[in-house]
Amino acid sequence: MHLNLIVQQLVFSIFLINIVECFEPITMTALGTAVAGAGYWLFGDGGTKRREKVADTLNYCSYYECCTPKHIVYDIEGLKADLQKKLFGQHIVNATLIPALRAHVKNLHKSEKPLVMSFHGNIGTGKNHVADLIIKHFYKAGENSTYVYKYRARKDFPVESEVDQYRVKLMDDISKAIKKCARSIFVFDEVEKIPAGVFESIASILDYHSHVSGMDFRQAIFIFLTNAGGDEIAHALDKIMEKGTFREQTKMNDFEYIAEIAAYNIKGGLKKSSIITSGLIDHFLPFLPLERRHIENCVRAEFEKLNREPEEDEISHIIEEYVSYQGLFSKYGCKRLNKKIQAMTEEW
C-alpha cells in the first residue's frame, strides 16, 4: 500500500479515536457500523476525491503530495516558455504539443479519453527532454512526484518470452496508479525495444469513455517515446528541403503518417498494435533531425548549465571533435554533448 494512503488512513483512525472517546459504551455498536461505512466511503472504490478533500481539511496536503491542484499545477505557460528556450529545431513539436496539452487540461473533467501521444525521432532530438519538461511543469514535485510513472524497455520489459506476465503487471500497475490519482502520467521509453503485444492489455483504458472496474482513466496522460520512424522522418525532411522548402515551413502532416506507419510496422511494443489500428494515439509527434545550427544551441545550453559563456572557437572545437553527421543532419543530435562538455571544461 502506498505511503500516502497509509498516512491518510492513520490520520483518519486518530480522528475516529478522538471521537470514540466522547461516546458511552452503549453507543459503540452503532458507532462501529458508522465507522465501517465511513472507512469504505474514504478508502473503498472511487474514494480518491473524497480522501483528498478530507486530507486537505486535516492539512495533510501541506506536508505530503496530494492529487489536488496544489500539487498538480498544470503550468502550461511555463512549459511553453521552457520549450521555446530549451528545445531546438522542433517547431512542429512546439506548435502541436502546447495546444494538445492545453485542450486536455481545460477539458479535464469532461474528457472522453486519456491524452495519448507518441514521440518519434532519432537519438538526441529531444523526446525525453520534452517528456521531462512536461513532468516538471505539471507536477510540483517534478520527476519525484508519486503520480509520475516511467517505464524503460530494458529495465521493465527485458525478456521477450514474458509478454503475458508483462501485460498483467502493466494493467495492474496502471489501475493502482489511477486509483491513487486519476491525473497521473505514464511515460514509456524505448518503445521499439519493448516486446510486441505488451500494450494490448491497456488498449481498453486508452479508448473513449474508458471506465474499467469502476475506475476513470480519462484524466491521465500516456506518452510513448520511440526511435521508430526517425530515419524515415529524416529522409522525408531531406527530400522536402531539396525541393527548396525551408525546414521551418514543414508541417505536422508532412511527417505524422510516416511516424504512424513506422510505429505499426517496425519491431517493438506498438507493432501491429490495436492501440494504433483503433486510433487511440491522439498525436504522433515527429522530432526532426538536428542540423549544425541546432547543435550549436545545444552546446550553449550545456555551458549555461555550468554557468559559463563559451567562446565561438570552443563551440566549433566541440562540434568538430564530437559531432558526426549523416548528410546535413547530426547522427546523434544533442545526446552525447553533456558529458563531453563537462569533461572538456575540466581540462580547460
pLDDT in tens, 261-314: 998 998 888 999 999 999 999 999 999 999 999 999 999 999 998 888 888 998
**Beta-carbon neighbour count of residue 203 at 10 Å?**
16
- State the Cα–Cα distance between residues 254 and 251, nearest whole angstrom: 5
Same domain for 42 and 10 = yes
Q: How many domains does the chain have?
A: 3
pLDDT at 36: 52
DSSP class per residue in 144-197: G-TTEEEEEHHHHS--GGGHHHHHHHHHHHHHHHHHH-TT-EEEEE-GGGSPTT
Same domain for 334 and 188 = no
CB-based contacts of 143, cutoff 8 Å, min separation 6: 132, 135, 136, 150
Same domain for 97 and 182 = yes
CB of 112 closer than 8 Å to CB of 170? no
Same domain for 299 and 267 = no
For residue 69, is it within any domain?
Answer: no
For residue 68, is it within any domain?
Answer: no
Same domain for 300 and 218 = no
Same domain for 299 and 266 = no
Residues lower than pLDDT 50 in the chain: 1, 14-28, 31
pLDDT at 62: 83
Give the chain's radius of gyration (CA, Å): 24
Cell digits of residue 211: 471506465
For residue 173, is it within any domain?
Answer: yes
Determine the structural domain holding residue 330 and report its residue range.
Answer: 292-347
Partner residues linked to 120 by β-bridges: 226, 286
**Of 233, 226, 232, whose CA–CA distance to 199 is shortest?**
226
pLDDT at 4: 57
For residue 70, is it within any domain?
Answer: no
Same domain for 117 and 51 = no
Cell digits of residue 63: 506536508
Given 14, 36, 62, which residue is the final one in a domain? 62
